[in-house]
């Protein structure tokens, strides 16, 4: 079959292929540098293997807890309609773009030594529980991933055909029958994939481990890279650990190619399936409790931090505002570059010929480790320029690579639809190149492009990864300053900075996303 694509193989497709090659090189070159710098496994200490073990078991436990806790919440949302349900579903999407360090601060306010929970425990005479250590790392991972799991499971739940539930009702199924015969098979099909995705996310955990872990028993491989790099300045050991993380990431990439990775922003969650089997008061109560507990767990830490932050916002030192300016710059440049790259790559996927590899490149970068990329770039830059001076561009660049898979997931399907619906019309009118981009592609793809830009901006603004590796004090970004304020126990300033960061991150997401919806 030799169907000619709707569009000619024009400069757009060539730029897109070049962009994909650029991304592939940007992914591979630092890895090569890391592998080249690493000198035999003998350089690894026992503590490094302990880091690998911790990375694996904390990820497994975090994923298991996230999924288990998500199931009752997803079930409650699937079978209940109530005012505010849409807000709850929206709330479940928020942790995805919430800066990690802000969430950590919130969890400390709730579960820390002088936090709400320990104060309550003190009243009933229970000794305080520490949030620092493995339990804190896992708690934070559950905070981020339980909502993600809930949204994904909810999507599967709403995928159960209404006809089948109607049939179940006509056969007089109880809620237990429905669960056993309809819902359990559905869960068995989707839960393993969701577990693996969350497991993968938790294996690349850096900021959470940096802030809450770090002792000999709660250091992830990513954190060990940072420590080898920053404290010992042992590039060779950092590279070895990088190789270890690469092996983890490689396994992740392999798995993620097999699994349909969920996007984190499931569509069509705005309805509940009518049910006849769960109208009893006990079940209603159970669902209400599940939803209330989940909302409290997600909202209370944020309210504690941000509510207190408002009161101290005007006292923030100038250095924090300067850092916010740097973060804004990083966020905007990363958003612009990611959207442009993703757009070009999406154009290339609809051009003639075999372009499946472009999507593979985009998917693979989901398994990229920011710390390994950072270490590799440091090694590459060292002979040419002082890497420390490049901290901000490197941070923006790493965020472009990390956000690209999400941007592609938004833009490629939209581009395919555009080509299917209007490809022939564009071609028959000789619309191509810049005219096509200006008159057809940009107006029709505003929504996914706005979403991609917003997501990238939010993630880049809140990113505390590679910047911790590179930055000197005069280049700190807002998340790094926040982390430093926390470390110095300047909690009032930290909370105000957290508020600023949330406004910056979520505000950028909201602005770009809105911009895409208008018109």
Of 120 and 425, the one with the shorter C-beta distance to another protein is 425
Least distance between another protein and beta carbon 418 (Å): 10
Q: Which is nearer to another protein, 307 or 443 (CB)?
A: 443
Name which position in 159, 307, 421, 487 contacts another protein (CB under 8 A). 421
Give the max Cα distance, the chain.
78
Burial classification of residue 488, based on how many CB atoms lie within 10 Å of its CB (0-12 exposed, 13-18 middle, 19 or more buried): exposed
Report the C-alpha gap between 282 and 96 in whole angstroms: 33
Give the residue with the Cβ less far from another protein, 179 or 422.
422
Query: Is 281 among the residues that bind another protein (CB under 8 A)?
Result: no
Q: Binding to another protein by residue 68, rule CB under 8 A?
A: no
Q: Where are the alpha helices (DSSP H) in 126-213?
A: 134-158, 162-170, 175-178, 184-203, 207-212
Nearer to another protein, 173 or 436 (CB): 436
For another protein, the binding residue among 154, 198, 440, 466 (CB under 8 A) is 440
What is the Cα Rg of the chain in Å? 24
Nearer to another protein, 6 or 479 (CB): 6
Give the CA distances from residue 37 to residues 45, 379, 446, in Å, rounded to whole numbers and listed in that order.
17, 8, 43
Q: Does residue 363 bind another protein (CB under 8 A)?
A: no
Q: Does 431 bind another protein (CB under 8 A)?
A: yes
Using the rule CB under 8 A, which residue among 40, 83, 172, 430 binds another protein?
430
Of 44, 190, 206, which Cα lies nearest the Cα of 137?
206
Query: Which residue, 379 or 418, is less far from another protein as judged by CB?
Result: 418
Q: How far is the CB of 518 from another protein (least distance, A)?
A: 12
Rule CB under 8 A: say whether 517 interacts with another protein: no
Instruction: List, as own/partner pairs, every contact residues 344-347 make where C-beta atoms lie below 8 angstroms and the sequence separation is at least 24, other chains included.
Output: 344/12, 344/15, 344/16, 344/18, 344/19, 345/16, 345/19, 345/20, 345/23, 345/408, 345/411, 345/412, 346/16, 346/408, 346/411, 346/412, 346/414, 346/415, 347/12, 347/13, 347/15, 347/16, 347/415, 347/441
Q: What are phi and psi of 319, to 5 degrees?
A: -60, -30
Total Cβ atoms within 10 A of residue 189:
11
424 contacts another protein (rule: CB under 8 A): yes
Please, what is the minimum distance in Å from the beta carbon of residue 483 to another protein? 44
Among the listed residues 114, 434, 514, 517, the single contact to another protein using CB under 8 A:
434
Query: 270 or 421: whose CB is closer to another protein?
Result: 421
CB of 435 to another protein, least distance (A): 4
Question: DSSP alpha helices (H): ranges in 351-390?
Answer: 356-364, 370-381
User: Measuring CA to CA, which residue among 113, 199, 215 is closest to residue 149?
Assistant: 199
Binding mask 186-225 for another protein (x = CB under 8 A): ----------------------------------------
Q: Cβ of residue 217: shortest distance to another protein, in angstroms?
A: 57
- Of the candidate spans 88-96, 180-188, 227-235, 436-444, the one that interacts with another protein by CB under 8 A turns out to be 436-444
Helix 134-158 and helix 184-203: axis angle, to 10°? 140
Pick the stretch among 44-52, 243-251, 354-362, 418-426 that binds another protein (CB under 8 A). Answer: 418-426
Rule CB under 8 A: is residue 4 a binding residue for another protein?
A: yes
**Torsion sign over Cα 254, 257, 259, 265:** positive
Pattern of binders to another protein over 239-278, x per CB under 8 A?
----------------------------------------
Of 9 and 492, nearer to another protein (C-beta) is: 9
Tokens read off for 57 = 């078991």
Nearer to another protein, 166 or 446 (CB): 446
Q: How far is the CB of 430 from another protein (least distance, A)?
A: 2
Minimum CB separation of residue 441 from another protein in Å reads 11
Angstrom distance (rounded) from CA 515 to CA 519: 8
CA distance 81 to 19: 46
Size of site (CB under 8 A) for another protein: 25
Minimum CB distance to another protein smaller for 134 or for 451: 451
Q: What is the dihedral of CA 364, 370, 376, 382, to 10 degrees?
A: 140
Q: CA-to-CA distance for 452 and 509, rounded, in angstroms?
A: 9
From candidates 299, 310, 360, 439, binder to another protein by CB under 8 A: 439
Query: Does 518 help bind another protein (rule: CB under 8 A)?
Result: no
* Smallest separation, CB 438 to another protein (Å): 8
DSSP 307-341: HHHHHHGGG--HHHHHHHHHHHHHHHHHHHHHHHH
Closer by beta carbon to another protein, 100 or else 431 = 431
Q: What is the DSSP string of 403-426?
A: HHHHHHHHHHHHHHHHHHHHHHHH
d(CA 358, CA 370): 21
Q: What is the closest distance, in whole angstroms, from the C-beta atom of residue 327 to another protein in the complex?
A: 34
Q: Is the separation of the CB atoms in 146 and 69 below 8 Å?
A: yes
354 binds another protein (CB under 8 A): no
Binding status of residue 428 toward another protein by CB under 8 A: yes
- For another protein, which residue of 438, 473, 488, 514 counts as binding (CB under 8 A)? 438
Taking the least distance from each CB to another protein, the nearer of 135 and 432 is 432
Report residue 443 as tokens: 């107006």
Nearer to another protein, 5 or 317 (CB): 5
Under the rule (CB under 8 A), what is the footprint of another protein?
Answer: 1-4, 6, 8, 421-422, 424-425, 427-432, 434-436, 438-440, 443-444, 519
């Amino acid at each position: 079959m030799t169907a000619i694509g709707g569009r000619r193989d024009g400069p757009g497709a060539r730029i897109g292929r070049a962009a994909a090659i650029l991304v592939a090189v940007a992914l591979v070159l630092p890895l090569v540098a890391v592998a080249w710098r690493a000198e035999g496994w003998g350089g690894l200490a026992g503590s490094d293997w302990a880091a690998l073990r911790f990375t694996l078991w904390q990820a497994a436990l975090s994923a298991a807890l996230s999924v288990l806790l998500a199931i009752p919440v997803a079930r409650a949302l699937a079978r209940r309609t109530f005012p505010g349900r849409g807000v709850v579903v929206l709330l479940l999407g928020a942790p995805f773009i919430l800066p990690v360090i802000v969430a950590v601060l919130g969890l400390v306010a709730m579960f820390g030594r002088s936090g709400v929970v320990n104060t309550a425990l003190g009243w009933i005479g229970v000794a305080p529980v520490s949030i620092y250590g493995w339990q804190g790392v896992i708690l934070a991972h559950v905070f981020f991933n339980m909502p993600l799991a809930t949204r994904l499971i909810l999507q599967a739940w709403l995928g159960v055909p209404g006809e089948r539930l109607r049939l179940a009702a006509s056969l007089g199924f109880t809620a237990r029958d429905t669960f056993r015969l309809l819902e359990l098979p559905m869960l068995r099909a989707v839960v393993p994939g969701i577990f693996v995705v969350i497991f993968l996310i938790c294996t690349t955990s850096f900021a959470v481990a940096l802030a809450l872990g770090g002792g000999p028993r709660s250091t992830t491989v990513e954190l060990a890279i940072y420590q080898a790099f920053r404290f010992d300045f042992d590039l060779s050991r950092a590279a070895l650990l990088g190789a270890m993380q690469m092996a983890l990431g490689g396994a992740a990439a392999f798995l993620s190619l097999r699994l349909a990775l969920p996007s984190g922003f499931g569509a069509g969650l705005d309805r509940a399936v009518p049910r006849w089997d769960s109208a009893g008061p006990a079940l209603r109560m159970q669902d209400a409790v599940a939803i209330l507990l989940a909302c409290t767990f997600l909202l209370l830490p944020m309210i504690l931090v941000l509510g207190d932050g408002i009161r101290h916002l005007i006292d923030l030192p100038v250095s924090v505002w300067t850092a916010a300016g740097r973060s804004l710059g990083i966020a905007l440049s990363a958003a612009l570059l990611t959207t442009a790259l993703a757009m070009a790559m999406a154009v290339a996927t609809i051009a003639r010929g075999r372009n499946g590899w472009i999507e593979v490149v985009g998917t693979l970068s989901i398994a990229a480790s920011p710390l390994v990329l950072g270490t590799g770039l440091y090694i590459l830059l060292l002979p040419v320029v002082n890497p420390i001076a490049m901290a901000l561009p490197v941070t923006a660049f790493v965020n472009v690579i990390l956000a690209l898979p999400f941007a592609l997931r938004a833009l490629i399907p939209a581009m395919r639809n555009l080509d299917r619906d209007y490809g022939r019309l564009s071609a028959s009118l000789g619309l191509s190149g810049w005219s096509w981009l200006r008159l057809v592609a940009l107006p029709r793809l505003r929504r996914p492009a706005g979403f991609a830009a917003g997501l990238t901006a939010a993630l880049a603004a809140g990113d505390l990864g590679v910047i911790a590796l590179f930055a000197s004090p005069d280049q700190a970004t807002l998340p790094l300053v926040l982390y430093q304020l926390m470390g110095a126990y300047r909690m009032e300033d930290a909370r105000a900075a957290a508020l600023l960061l949330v406004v910056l991150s979520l505000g950028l997401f909201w602005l770009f996303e809105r911009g895409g919806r208008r018109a």
